[in-house]
């Protein structure tokens, strides 16, 4: 975690990724408004910001890292001024490691002065372990102010003046926090846009193997979960600042329930769990409220139910009770599980910020511990309530009552409820991609404006399926110049935070030039009120980074497709369908046959040839066992020949298979020899070529030894790319079957990053 300089010219992709990660970490450290110190999972200091060095009285980072712990021990008095014993630092760190956070105040003697400090230790997931971030604030003046404020209460003539001072400082602190959150949001969301965007682009490719598709799907799902954690933190800050506003509108009840159920099905994983959905058929079909926040409440409750339940049942129930007026109802949601349950003490702490219980048993559980705190605050904002019935070892039931509007008299009804309760499972990422249809829009054009090249790459990739005309520039100045020179686009996608001229400034200038076509904001800054800011500054819409493909699709449909005449849209659809059919035909004709399948095909064919030749020696006197063996072998050859596109021979095999099933021994005897000759020709056609000495040209032990040594050395340095390239070169050659199987095992182990296993097997192969 220590930030170090790296040689850019010689750095590997992994090192470059690490360098970028470290740059973002350095940015976060330097922009923090507080003294910030990072510790590893052994509680050793690994990094800090300049404010920390200044506070502790060191001259440099190196001095700070080497002398911090000694100075810390001497700077904290054994007894505080109020007579309390100072708790050792190790205990504070252990509390943070076990409970996720440790907040306390302590006195410190620094520079000959006794200072009051507020310290917050927060546990942060890092790689396979964790780090502890320490945020330290000098509250000496605050303490003194509290004492002064107490005095002013007794002396009313000074009371108003001191309150104004305190209010001014609170506003300053609030602004600093907002600025910090804005920086954090942008700095984290920018790389997340690239990670999720590239994963999404790759998942659009039909030719991906299952292993690679699964890997990208895991990247996308994990990135999405990380984004959820970031959103939780930002939501919490919005609520605390009183800036989170509910968006009240009509919403479809069935869609909300279905979304909540489907999004949480993926959480079952491999657990022996049943997910049960029960819905009251008399529930209103349309409700009025903030559907997004209602869904957020359900997602948090369901997430915890699945997280803390290893087996049994998780149930989501939905119903409604009469409201306080004719135009309202009280919606009742229940989430119950057969999981760990909670004690009275745990229930008392459930809604505390950063609170997670039983951390030893749940150390692999994901999340910040903010979810339930957010749930409670959202329910309070909606004038609702939540009740909990929980027993250790038996499970928990959460019941939420939310007043909602009832704009219509319609109900869900039995048929729709039965359909809801028979939902099927899909992963969240698969659902996202399945819920949209990307229409070809060759008639449309867009301009991407972004100062980060990787963001442009992602945007181009996500827009590629639409077959739009896509231009890009790297600054607001360049975008203005394009428009000034007469360029017109259906949409200008404008990044917000760019150097020298931000997106809002650029959009204002473009609009002032009389440009009337839509400009859509793209931003990684997801702090409260951004949507209103962009819309009030002439933007037609707003898309947050990382780019949600459903939101992008909706914007393209609204601002490009839906503005075209029907005949233009139909012509584009017909052209796209024709291209799709043509591409499918070309793919079928040009599809390469897997070399591994060819090896297996040759082995299987040789076995079938031997059995069929043996049967043919009976000269037409075939037993029932012979006929059965004949049909089985011919059928197997038919399937294999179909795969390698030997069309005529496949038809020949089908003819012989039908003869065998019908017991037509005359046809079997007459035509099987010709079929066997044709099979031998196919084997010869695909058999690896031999050199003049009759040995397989690729079976060179020295070549094998050289490549395996390269694999060993690369694994020792955790260089996956070099090891993978060497293995791929080996697997392209022809080897005996046992060797080929070992190479396949090596490739699979390397895919999962098991460097030690790969190096061990490679070493054994070179020794034999």
Question: Which alpha helices (H) appear in 617-733, and where do they start and end?
Answer: 624-643, 647-662, 665-686, 701-716, 720-731
Query: Residue 256: what pLDDT?
Result: 84
Report how far apart the first and last C-alpha atoms of the chain are (Å, whole number).
Answer: 41
The answer to whether residues 440 and 573 touch, using CB atoms and an 8 Å cutoff, is yes
**Banded model confidence at residue 739, pLDDT cuts 50, 70, 90:** confident
Output the DSSP codes for 290-359: -HHHHHHHHHHHHHHHHHT--SEEEEEEEEEEE-SSTTEEEEEEEEEESS----HHHHHHTTSTT--S-T
Give the pair of three-digit tokens for residue 405.
Answer: 């509007």
Whole-number Å distance between alpha carbons of 589 and 577: 19
Whole-number Å distance between alpha carbons of 294 and 249: 12
Query: In the block, which residue shows the tokens 């070099």?
Result: 722
Whole-number Å distance between alpha carbons of 476 and 501: 6
Whole-number Å distance between alpha carbons of 463 and 200: 11
% pLDDT > 70, the chain: 77
Query: In the block, which residue shows the tokens 């992963």?
Result: 427
Q: Are strands 273-279 and 385-391 parallel, antiparallel or unpaired?
A: unpaired
- Helix H or strand E segment including 541: strand 541-544
Whole-number Å distance between alpha carbons of 423 and 429: 17
DSSP 593: P
Whole-number Å distance between alpha carbons of 694 and 689: 9
As beta bridge partners, residue 114 has 109
As beta bridge partners, residue 438 has none
Domain with CATH 3.30.450.20 in the chain: 13-169
Query: Residue 742: what pLDDT?
Result: 81
Sign of CA dihedral 169, 171, 175, 180: positive
Shortest CA distance to 284 belongs to which of 314, 319, 324?
A: 319
Domain with CATH 3.30.565.10 in the chain: 249-424
How many Cα atoms within 13 Å fall on the side-chain side of residue 610? 5
Average pLDDT along the chain: 79
- Helix H or strand E segment including 225: helix 210-240
Domain with CATH 3.40.50.2300 in the chain: 445-568
Shortest CA distance to 575 belongs to which of 447, 485, 441, 448?
A: 441
Whole-number Å distance between alpha carbons of 647 and 638: 10
Exposure b/e, 713-727, CB count within 10 A at least 16 = b: ebbeeebbeebbebb
Q: What class is the 249-424 domain?
A: alpha beta
- Range 312-319 average pLDDT: 92
Phi-psi region of 663 (alpha: psi -120 to 50; beta: other; left: phi over 0): left
Give the pair of three-digit tokens for residue 90.
Answer: 């190790």
Whole-number Å distance between alpha carbons of 513 and 746: 62
DSSP 570: H
299 pLDDT exceeds 90? Answer: no
**Banded model confidence at residue 561, pLDDT cuts 50, 70, 90:** very high
Give the pair of three-digit tokens for residue 712.
Answer: 């060993």
629 pLDDT exceeds 80? Answer: yes
According to the CATH classification, is domain 13-169 in 3.30.450.20? yes
More confident residue, 114 or 243: 114
Instruction: Please write the tens of the pLDDT for every residue from 483-539.
Output: 999 999 999 999 887 888 888 999 999 999 999 999 998 875 544 445 667 777 888
Query: Residue 725: what pLDDT?
Result: 81
Instruction: Please write the tens of the pLDDT for every residue from 15-67.
Output: 666 666 667 667 777 777 788 999 999 999 988 888 899 989 999 989 999 99
User: How far is residue 728 CA from its own chain's centroid?
Assistant: 29
Domain with CATH 1.20.120 in the chain: 595-686
Whole-number Å distance between alpha carbons of 61 and 52: 9
Instruction: Please write the tens of the pLDDT for every residue from 358-402.
Output: 544 444 444 445 668 888 888 988 999 999 998 898 899 999 999
Whole-number Å distance between alpha carbons of 306 and 297: 15
Rounded to 10 deg, the angle between the 665-686 and 595-616 helix axes is 150
Give the pair of three-digit tokens for residue 84.
Answer: 């309390």
Which distant-in-sequence residues (6+ apart) come within 8 Å of 63 by Cβ? 53
For residue 355, the SS3 value is: coil
Q: What length is written for the chain? A: 768
Cβ contacts of 259-263, under 8 Å, gap ≥ 24: 259/295, 260/295, 260/298, 260/299, 260/302, 260/316, 261/316, 261/420, 261/423, 262/423, 262/425, 262/426, 262/431, 263/299, 263/428, 263/431
User: Per CATH, which fold does 595-686 belong to?
Assistant: 1.20.120
Give the pair of three-digit tokens for residue 577.
Answer: 């369908």
- Range 412-419 average pLDDT: 84
Is 540 buried (19+), middle (13-18) or exposed (0-12) by CB count in 10 A?
Answer: middle
Rounded to 10 deg, the angle between the 737-751 and 701-716 helix axes is 20
Instruction: Please write the tens of the pLDDT for every residue from 655-704.
Output: 998 888 888 888 888 899 999 998 888 888 877 654 334 344 446 788 88
According to the CATH classification, is domain 445-568 in 3.40.50.2300? yes
Whole-number Å distance between alpha carbons of 523 and 517: 20
More confident residue, 354 or 612: 612
Number of alpha helices (DSSP H) and beta strands (DSSP E) in the chain:
27, 17
**Banded model confidence at residue 82, pLDDT cuts 50, 70, 90:** confident
Q: Are strands 541-544 and 519-523 parallel, antiparallel or unpaired?
A: parallel
**Banded model confidence at residue 329, pLDDT cuts 50, 70, 90:** very high
Which distant-in-sequence residues (6+ apart) come within 8 Å of 65 by Cβ? 2, 45, 46, 47, 48
Shortest CA distance to 398 belongs to which of 467, 302, 507?
A: 302
- Range 317-333 average pLDDT: 88
For residue 523, the SS3 value is: strand
Give the pair of three-digit tokens for residue 365.
Answer: 């559980």
For residue 195, the SS3 value is: helix
Torsion angle of alpha carbons 59, 62, 64, 65, nearest 10°?
180
Which distant-in-sequence residues (6+ apart) come within 8 Å of 341 by Cβ? 390, 391, 392, 393, 394, 395, 396
Sign of CA dihedral 107, 112, 113, 118: negative
Whole-number Å distance between alpha carbons of 277 and 114: 60
Give the pair of three-digit tokens for residue 52.
Answer: 């920390």
Please tell me the chain's helix, strand, coil percentages from 3-state DSSP, rounded to the nearest 5.
Answer: 55, 15, 30
């Amino acid at each position: 975690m220590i930030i170090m300089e790296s040689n850019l010219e010689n750095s590997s992709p992994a090192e470059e990724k690490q360098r970028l990660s470290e740059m973002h970490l350095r940015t976060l450290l330097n922009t923090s408004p507080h003294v910030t110190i990072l510790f590893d999972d052994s509680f050793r200091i690994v990094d800090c910001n300049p404010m920390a060095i200044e506070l502790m009285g060191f001259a440099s980072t190196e001095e700070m890292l080497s002398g911090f712990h000694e100075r810390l021990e001497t700077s904290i008095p054994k007894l505080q001024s109020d007579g309390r014993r100072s708790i050792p630092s190790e205990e504070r760190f252990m509390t943070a490691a076990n409970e996720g956070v440790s907040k306390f105040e302590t006195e410190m003697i620094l520079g000959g002065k006794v200072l009051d400090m507020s310290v917050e230790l927060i546990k942060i997931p890092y790689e396979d372990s964790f780090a502890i971030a320490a945020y330290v604030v000098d509250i000496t003046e605050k303490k003194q102010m509290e004492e002064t404020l107490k005095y002013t209460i007794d002396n009313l003539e000074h009371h108003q003046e001191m309150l104004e001072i305190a209010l001014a400082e609170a506003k300053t602190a609030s602004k600093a926090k907002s600025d910090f959150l804005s920086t954090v949001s942008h700095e984290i969301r920018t790389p997340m846009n690239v990670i999720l965007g590239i994963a999404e682009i790759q998942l659009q490719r039909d030719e991906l193997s299952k292993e690679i598709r699964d890997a990208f799907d895991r990247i996308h799902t994990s990135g999405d979960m990380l984004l959820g954690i970031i959103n939780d933190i930002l939501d919490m800050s919005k609520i605390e600042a009183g800036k989170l506003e509910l968006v009240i509108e009509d919403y479809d009840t069935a869609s909300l329930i279905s979304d909540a159920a489907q999004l949480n099905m993926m959480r079952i994983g491999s657990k022996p769990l049943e997910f049960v959905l029960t819905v009251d058929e008399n529930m209103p079909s349309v409700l009025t409220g903030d559907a997004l926040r209602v869904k957020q409440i359900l997602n948090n409750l369901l997430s915890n139910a699945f997280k803390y339940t290893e087996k049994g049942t998780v149930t989501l129930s939905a119903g409604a009770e009469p409201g306080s007026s004719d135009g309202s109802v009280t919606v009742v949601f229940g989430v119950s599980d057969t999981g760990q349950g909670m004690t009275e003490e745990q229930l008392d702490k459930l809604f505390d910020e950063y609170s997670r219980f039983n951390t030893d048993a749940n150390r692999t559980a994901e999340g910040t511990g903010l979810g339930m705190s957010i749930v409670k605050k959202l329910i309070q904002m909606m004038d609702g309530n939540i009740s909990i019935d929980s027993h250790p070892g038996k499970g928990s039931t959460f019941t939420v009552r939310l007043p909602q509007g009832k704009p219509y008299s319609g109900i869900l009804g039995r048929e729709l409820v039965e359909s809801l309760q028979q939902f099927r499972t899909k992963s969240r990422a698969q659902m996202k991609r399945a819920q949209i249809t990307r229409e070809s829009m060759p008639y449309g054009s867009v301009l991407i404006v972004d100062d980060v090249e990787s963001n442009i790459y992602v945007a181009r990739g996500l827009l590629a399926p639409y077959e739009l005309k896509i231009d890009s520039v790297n600054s607001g100045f360049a975008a203005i110049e394009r428009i000034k020179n007469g360029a017109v686009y259906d949409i200008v996608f404008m990044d917000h935070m760019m150097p020298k001229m931000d997106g809002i400034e650029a959009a204002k200038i473009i609009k002032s030039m009389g440009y009337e076509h839509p400009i859509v904001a793209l931003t990684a800054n997801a702090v409260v009120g951004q949507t209103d800011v962009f819309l009030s500054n002439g933007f037609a819409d707003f898309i947050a980074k990382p780019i949600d493909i459903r939101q992008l699709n909706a914007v393209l449909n609204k601002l490009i497709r839906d503005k075209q005449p029907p005949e233009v849209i139909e012509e584009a659809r017909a052209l796209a369908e024709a291209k799709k059919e043509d591409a499918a035909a070309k793919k079928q004709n040009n599809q390469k046959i897997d070399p591994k399948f060819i090896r297996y095909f040759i082995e299987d064919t040789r076995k079938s040839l031997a059995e069929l030749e043996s049967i043919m020696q009976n000269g037409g006197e075939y037993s029932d066992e012979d006929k059965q063996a004949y049909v089985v072998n011919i059928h197997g050859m038919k399937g294999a020949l179909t795969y390698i596109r030997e069309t005529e021979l496949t038809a020949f095999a089908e003819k012989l298979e039908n003869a065998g099933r019908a017991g037509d021994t005359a046809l079997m005897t007459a035509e099987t020899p010709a079929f066997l000759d044709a099979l031998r020709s196919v084997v010869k056609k695909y058999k690896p070529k031999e050199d003049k000495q009759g040995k397989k040209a690729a079976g060179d032990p020295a070549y094998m030894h050289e490549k395996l040594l390269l694999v060993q050395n690369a694994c020792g340095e955790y260089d996956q790319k070099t090891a993978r390239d060497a293995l791929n070169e080996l697997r392209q050659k022809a080897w005996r079957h046992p060797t080929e199987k070992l190479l396949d095992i090596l490739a699979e182990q390397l895919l999962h990053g098991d460097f030690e296993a790969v190096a061990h097997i490679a070493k054994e192969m070179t020794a034999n």
